[in-house]
Structure 1
Amino acid sequence: MNAESTTVPTAPTAAARPAAKGATVRRKRRRRAERRPRFAIAVTVCFFALLYLPIGVVALFSFNAQKSLTVFKGFSLRWYEAFAHDDLLLGSLGTSLRISLVATAGSIVLGVTLALGLVRSRNRLGSLAGLIMLVPLITPEIVTGVAAMLLFKGVAVPLSTATVMLSEVTFSISYVTVIMRSRVAALNPEVEEAAMDLGATRWQALRLVTLPALLPGILACAVLVFALVFDDFVLAYFTTGVDPQPLSVRIYSAIRFGVQPTINAVGTLMLAGSVALIALALAIPRLFGRRGGLDLLSGK
């Protein structure tokens, strides 16, 4: 054998030993980080159990065949049938739907307009207005409700469904403005400028270019605001009149004399509707984004 073709293993040098040791330490840390944090998982499970277990109990006893809130005697739809024949609850449901529709329409129109103005504004007044729009989001809702009630009392406006609508519109504008402001800022202003260069007026460019681009965000905000207003209790409680009352206030008035199984059925329906609306609000932007991508691929 030639000496040149023979390789003799050499011991690692002093410089290579710290590097190998450091690689081993990094592997151990990576393995330790990849382990499941059992304490965090246990805390998360306990949190969701405490959060959703009462809701699950309400939903379960809404199907109870017996008029009991402690003993479950089998599944039945009798309490949902009782809700369908309760004129007071159905009237309150209609009132809540009207309030939610009006509040959604008003907050969308005002919120989108304000978002466009805040993004297009280049002075300090626009920045100050943007900060002011965040105040209702961090203000306790009970403070907003009391302030709205005192305002209507001060100007001698009787509390009614109209005052609830005005209060809900005012409270919901901030949600729409904050969400739509980011959507407007993401738009390319050159597209609107190109439309005006082709002969469109500013209003036509807004109606034919800007608003269609903002449509997914507008629809998502509309669904979200509708769900929030429909479930709202604090603001509706302080600004509603004697009759007709929103459904949330009617439920509160009913449970003061004892919780009835019909209220469990109403609460379950409200929960299911709210979850469906919020899921729809989250799915709309993704649906439009996927459809937009398919349109681009197909050349439409």
Structure 2
Amino acid sequence: MTSTRTSPAVPEAAGQETRPASRRRRGRAERRPRIAIAVTALFFGLLYLPIGVVVLYSLNSKKSLTVFGGFSLRWYRAFVHDDVLISSLGTSLKISLAAMSGSVLLGVALAIGLVRSRSRLGSLAGLIMLVPLITPEIVTGVASMLLFKGVGVTLSTATVTLAEITFSISYVTVILRSRVAALNPEVEEAAMDLGATRWQALRLVTLPALLPTVLASAVLIFALVFDDFVLAYFTTGVDPQPLSVRIYSAIRFGVQPTINAVGTLMLAGSIALIALALFIPRLFGRKGGLELLSGS
């Protein structure tokens, strides 16, 4: 009587055959489609090529927008010595700072009120806050201009600031609302149980927890207001004008190489501010990030 025994070489051989096949399938799955790469490269090329041309010709030594004669900081020096553009730059900075402060203060209060409100009116107000985000900015600009004209207010820097604050409140509220909703209300209630008033609990417990998001929102609003053109164009006066409106007025009489330098500086500033807005929450999320910013 003979016994049959299964040879272990059979499954080993089968395993050796399946391993290369699975590796080949995994390799094919991990390959990036060339068409997707080409389309992505074409998209970013069409998106950033005009910006690259502006940056390049801002360093042009010749007074030409078509012929590049070598690298030079000539047009940046011309911008620094242009009193009109410097005045417009100062006006834009003042408007941005005022709009950032006003929209953040009102947006924080509104976000906390909308989250803590338990009535139907709070839900309706939350939906209304989304309307400015989806409304075309030109509609908001025309409506703001008609409102100021209707009440007899002369267009000036103040009207631009009021319009920018009104437009920016929605951004701050939407950003902060999710953060306020994520906070545990029991922490604030515990502070009041320990003797703190409602205002003290808000100031010592809730606001410090919202500080990273508030700072990020403030930086983002500053960048948006500083670069805004449509709303500023419809609500600004004759003089002084924001920098974006001044650039448009100068382009109407012909594009000058100085405008390329101004646009490049505005682009660099906006990128730096947006990067800062993205970096602030991460910095506070690190251990000791709050102590680092407070200097303690």
| Partner-residue secondary structure (3-state), 2:126 | helix
- Quickly say closer, same or farther: Cα 1:9–1:288, change in 2 above 3 A: closer
Distance 1:11 1:272 in 2: 66
Give the 5 Å matches for 1:48-87: 48-87=44-83
1:18 is matched with which residue? none
2:15 is matched with which residue? none
Distance 2:262 2:290 in 1: 41
Give the 5 Å matches for 1:1-300: 6-8=5-7, 30-292=26-288
Asked if structure 1 preserves the Cα contact closer than 8 Å seen for 2:111 and 2:174, the reply is yes
2:16 is matched with which residue? none
Question: How much does 1:122 deviate?
Answer: 1.0
Question: How much does 1:7 deviate?
Answer: 2.6
What percent identity do the matched residue pairs reach? 81
Distance 2:93 2:178 in 1: 29
Question: How much does 1:33 deviate?
Answer: 3.2
Distance 2:278 2:22 in 1: 40
Deviations 1:208-267, CA, capped at 9 Å, x for gaps:
111011000000000000000000000000000000000000000001111101110000
- Quickly say closer, same or farther: Cα 1:61–1:225, change in 2 above 3 A: same
Distance 1:147 1:169 in 2: 15
Deviations 1:88-124, CA, capped at 9 Å, x for gaps:
0000000000000000000000001000001101111
Amino acid at match of 1:233: F
- Quickly say closer, same or farther: Cα 1:110–1:25, change in 2 above 3 A: farther
- Quickly say closer, same or farther: Cα 1:3–1:184, change in 2 above 3 A: farther
| Partner-residue secondary structure (3-state), 2:286 | helix
Q: TM-score, normalised by structure 2?
A: 0.91
Distance 1:257 1:101 in 2: 30
Distance 1:102 1:252 in 2: 23
Amino acid at match of 2:258: T
The range that moved more, 97-106 or 37-46, is 37-46
Deviations 1:184-209, CA, capped at 9 Å, x for gaps:
01111111111111111000111111
Distance 1:293 1:57 in 2: 39
Q: Which runs of 5+ in 1 are unaligned?
A: 13-22
Asked if structure 1 preserves the Cα contact closer than 8 Å seen for 2:283 and 2:289, the reply is no
Amino acid at match of 1:230: F
Distance 1:83 1:8 in 2: 85
Q: TM-score, normalised by structure 1?
A: 0.90
Amino acid at match of 1:167: A
Distance 2:73 2:250 in 1: 20
Aligned length, in residue pairs: 287
Distance 2:220 2:120 in 1: 30
Distance 1:49 1:140 in 2: 27
Asked if structure 1 preserves the Cα contact closer than 8 Å seen for 2:284 and 2:290, the reply is no
- Quickly say closer, same or farther: Cα 1:8–1:107, change in 2 above 3 A: same
The range that moved more, 273-282 or 68-77, is 68-77
Amino acid at match of 1:120: R
Question: How much does 1:41 deviate?
Answer: 1.2
Q: Which runs of 5+ in 2 are unaligned?
A: 12-18
- Quickly say closer, same or farther: Cα 1:26–1:6, change in 2 above 3 A: closer
